[in-house]
């Protein structure tokens, strides 16, 4: 279970998160928002990568607000796979297990789920973007996390490869049964990945019934502002 309460964050005079709160116990929650809406900032605060100005984060009722990332027991998949280029794909996948988190046996299961058998001895720079994203997901899941956070994990990949990977990512997350937050600005991606949906609107999370409803919530909120081009891009994607 993941819960965060009244998360606030400002960068200078710009308030990015305005008291964001949410609770989830299972499934894949997709948060949809235009670029710059605060989606990545929220995930980084939950993960402990940056600090919020206010608020609390709880994982399975444990207050992790002031804990460093390595003590939160979270899986985090960033926009651009942050793999160790000097290690093979396999060594990246089981990296956490060698540091006391997760198990190599889990890594083997992730390899099978994500079809990584043929690239285990290759290093990240020898892999395509799609395989790097799969390795990044496998590494996060092998660490035996209580919650998964995914920040537009397929943003570096061409459209045709994304179409193949979206159902693969969803199936892998569902099979592992770990509560997951997946953020994106792509409505089509959201529809294919999510169980439930929310829109990030002016520093707040608005729960909605569908990706299409998220688009409407975002559009209505910013109707008279200069971010309309970003909203149009949401609809195109």
**Is residue 197 within 8 Å of residue 186, measured between CB atoms?**
no
The pLDDT value given to residue 25: 93
- Average pLDDT for residues 203-231, to the nearest whole number? 79
- Average pLDDT for residues 213-228, to the nearest whole number? 74
Paired strand residues for 15: 10
Indicate the pLDDT class of residue 231, thresholds 50, 70 and 90: low
The pLDDT value given to residue 226: 52
Per the confidence metrics, is the pTM higher than 0.95? Answer: no
Tokens of 25: 């116990």
Count the alpha carbons within 13 Å of 235 in the hemisphere toward its beta carbon.
10
Residue with tokens 């688009």: 215
């Amino acid at each position: 279970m993941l819960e965060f309460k009244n998360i606030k964050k400002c960068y200078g005079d710009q308030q990015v998160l305005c008291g964001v709160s949410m609770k989830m116990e299972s499934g894949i929650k997709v948060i949809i928002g235009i670029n710059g809406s605060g989606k990545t900032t929220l995930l980084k605060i939950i993960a402990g990568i940056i600090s919020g100005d206010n608020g609390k984060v709880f994982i399975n009722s444990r207050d992790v607000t002031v804990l460093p990332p390595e003590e939160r027991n979270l899986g985090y998949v960033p926009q651009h796979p942050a793999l160790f280029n000097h290690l093979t794909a396999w060594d990246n996948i089981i990296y956490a297990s060698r540091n006391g988190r997760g198990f190599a046996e889990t890594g083997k299961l992730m390899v099978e789920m994500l079809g990584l058998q043929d690239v285990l001895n290759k290093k990240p720079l020898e892999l395509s973007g799609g395989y790097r994203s799969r390795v990044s997901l496998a590494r996060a899941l092998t660490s035996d996390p209580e919650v998964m956070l995914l920040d537009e994990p397929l943003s570096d990949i061409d459209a045709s490869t994304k179409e193949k990977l979206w159902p693969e990512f969803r199936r892998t997350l569902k099979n592992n049964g770990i509560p997951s937050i997946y953020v994106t600005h792509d409505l089509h991606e959201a529809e294919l990945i999510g169980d439930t949906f929310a829109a990030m609107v002016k520093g707040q999370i608005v729960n909605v019934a569908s990706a299409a409803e998220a688009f409407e919530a975002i559009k209505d909120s910013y109707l008279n502002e200069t971010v309309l081009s970003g909203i149009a891009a949401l609809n195109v994607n």
